Amino acid sequence: MGVPKILFLGGLLGGIFLLLMGWVAFTVFHLADAVTGGLLTNVSALTSLLGAAMPALGVIVPMILGGLILVIFPLDWALTYRPDDIGLMFALIIPWAVAGVLVALIFAHNAKQGFLCGIALMVYPIILGIIAIAGLNALSNSIGGGLDIGALVNGVIEGLVDRSLIVAIITATLEGGALAGVFGALIGSVKYDPGNIGTGKKVKSKSKDTRAPGAPSTEGKKEEDLFVNFE
């Protein structure tokens, strides 16, 4: 399978898996409570009450919030500022690892493709992040009145993770994608089957006739080399 297909098709499917795992991290691991250091508590219970009124929102809202947290809060931030919070580390690591494994199970046939399946997870969050930042800036310009929504959101993110929104997205997805790539490479190496790496191409080669006069003729004998396509 080609690299572009893995990066874009695998990245799209991986983004869906990451959203699903974001729901798990939000509801099971209480990710919103963990990243705020206890400043906000029982956020998942609040979304459960929302789900009691509107079941669809009870699933969609935690999924989106969990996915946003995963692509904004980098692993190095958790290691630097919250190294003793094991629950937070599990809540950030497990979704990326599981998403990488699921994509690799579908697309990877060797370790290299498995690692690319993990890296593919960072493609769409970065693209959507750039679009979101541009949209916030355009919204601020259209509203006017000195209200800069982009700067406001940037200030909130800097207060939380000590870096701007776009830098937070890039670092969080790069670290998460690398982690997913490690697990994806493991799955790809397990799935690797040398017997199915491609049909060998046989190429005929001719050798110069160096036989002595009167020696038996070797005409008609063919030597074949086997070249294997490892892609």
Asked if the structure places residue 103 within a domain, the reply is yes
User: Could you list the pLDDT tens digit for every one of the 231 residues in the chain?
Assistant: 678 888 889 999 999 999 999 999 988 888 888 887 766 666 766 666 666 667 778 788 889 999 999 999 999 999 998 888 898 999 999 999 999 999 999 999 999 999 999 999 999 999 999 999 899 888 888 886 677 888 888 888 998 899 999 999 999 999 999 999 999 999 999 988 887 654 444 444 455 555 555 555 554 444 444 444 444
Asked if the structure places residue 215 within a domain, the reply is no
Mapping DSSP to helix (H, G, I), strand (E, B) and coil, where does residue 47 land?
Answer: helix
Asked if the structure places residue 217 within a domain, the reply is no
Per-residue model confidence (pLDDT) at position 230 = 40
Quote the domain boundaries for residue 26: 3-196
Asked if the structure places residue 36 within a domain, the reply is yes
Written as one string, the DSSP assignment of 146-191 is: T--HHHHHHHHHHHHHSS-HHHHHHHHHHHHHHHHHHHHHHHHHHH
pTM of the model: 0.79
Distance separating alpha carbons of residues 110 and 59, to the nearest angstrom: 35
Asked if the structure places residue 50 within a domain, the reply is yes
Which residues is 174 bridged to in the sheet? none
Which residues is 203 bridged to in the sheet? 225
Quote the number of domains for the chain.
Answer: 1
Asked if the structure places residue 227 within a domain, the reply is no
Asked if the structure places residue 212 within a domain, the reply is no
